[in-house]
Amino acid sequence: NQSVHQRMQELEELLNRYNKEYYENDEPTVPDAEYDRLFRELRTLETEYPDLKNAQSPTMKVGGKPLGQFKNVQHEVPMLSLDNAFSVDEFEAFSKRVEQRLDTNQTVTFCCEPKLDGAAVSLLYENGLLVRGATRGDGQSGEDITENVKTIRNVPLKLSGNVPERLEVRGEVVMPLGAFERFNENARQREEKVFANPRNAAAGSLRQLDSRITAKRPLHFYAYSLGLISETTELPDSHYQRLQQLKDWGLPVNIEIKTVDSIKGCDDYYEAILDRRDALNYDIDGVVFKVDSIRLQQDLGFVARAPRWAIARKFPAQEQLTT
Ligand SMILES: Cc1ccc2cc(C(N)=O)cc(O)c2n1
């Protein structure tokens, strides 16, 4: 059954590629019917030849039998929240604090990104394989939702390239707005639970004990920082470049993430994202600015639970349209 094994590998590559296309640029090159046909062919072969089944097969992303409860996960590196700046003045106070720590003529580079309004999760990869997913919880410990995160279609089960032995990635799980509307409309028609907003929909979908339910929820994951990493790993001093490294390993990183070299650059970024807020395919509630230099981040450290080297600059609350 060498030719069967060959066909199974071919199907796996095709399905992984179509998955990536579907999430990279929202334009799958094949219709869903074709995707489903290939998916069914692979699942049939895996049933007939179980010893040829690959633990990272795309068929593993559909969820399995429900759990009785969630196990607890201790975050070896605490998952931090962000200090908020609601006004220009508060943001300027943040930038002043940062600049005080610099030498005179040193300029500071900031890494900027939209603040996704979803559910924070931690993904742990060992030798490039996804071995654990966890909710943020209280920052010190969360719930083990490994089976659920495996069903998020743009979460890779296997990283590619020269990956560290241990790599923990933190990011946000969101439910895209179009998918959220369709999901809620569907739920209304079936008189099932309707979610108040995409954040609740994402958080609620991740906390399902039955991962087959999570698998049916349209969720996206975007990596935004590194947690645990094997100390032998060579990494650039730039946070932005570390995120690009995650992207090279196959993890989804938001394309809106950019660096700027001044406070003015931060203000321009804030205005640019605010202007495009309604055009984005997911809910955001501000932008996040981080000192890009890891060395300077370490020098600035943290205050209580939030880092001194990062700030979330929040948008005015959106007037909730009365539905
Ligand atoms: C350190 C940290 C904590 C929470 C975060 C949350 C978001 C977010 N909600 O998009 C983005 C980030 O870069 C974050 N960074």
Summarised one tens digit per residue, pLDDT across range 15-58 is 988 887 776 655 667 888 888 899 999 999 999 999 999 989 99
Tell me if 224 CB under 6 Å of ligand 1: yes
pTM: 0.87
pLDDT digits 0-9 by tens, 247-264: 999 999 999 999 999 999
The answer, yes or no, to whether any atom of ligand 1 lies below 6 A from the CB of 246, is: no
Sole residue written with tokens 């990272």 = 56
Structure confidence by residue, pLDDT tens digits, 149-180: 999 989 999 999 999 999 999 999 999 999 99
Distance between CA atoms of residues 63 and 149, nearest Å:
9
Question: Which residues, 6+ apart, have CB-to-CB distance to 273 below 8 Å?
Answer: 114, 256, 284, 287
**Is the CB of 173 within 6 Å of ligand 1?**
no
- C-beta of residue 190 within 8 angstroms of C-beta of residue 240: no
Residues 56-110 pLDDT 10s: 999 988 888 888 889 999 999 999 889 889 888 999 999 998 988 887 778 899 9
Ligand 1 atom having least distance to the Cα of 116: 10
- Amino acid sitting at position 72: N
Query: Is 115 annotated as catalytic?
Result: yes
Is the separation of the CB atoms in 42 and 59 below 8 Å? Answer: yes
**213: buried, middle or exposed (CB in 10 Å: 19+, 13-18, 0-12)?**
middle
Give the separation between CA 42 and CA 302, rounded to whole angstroms. 49
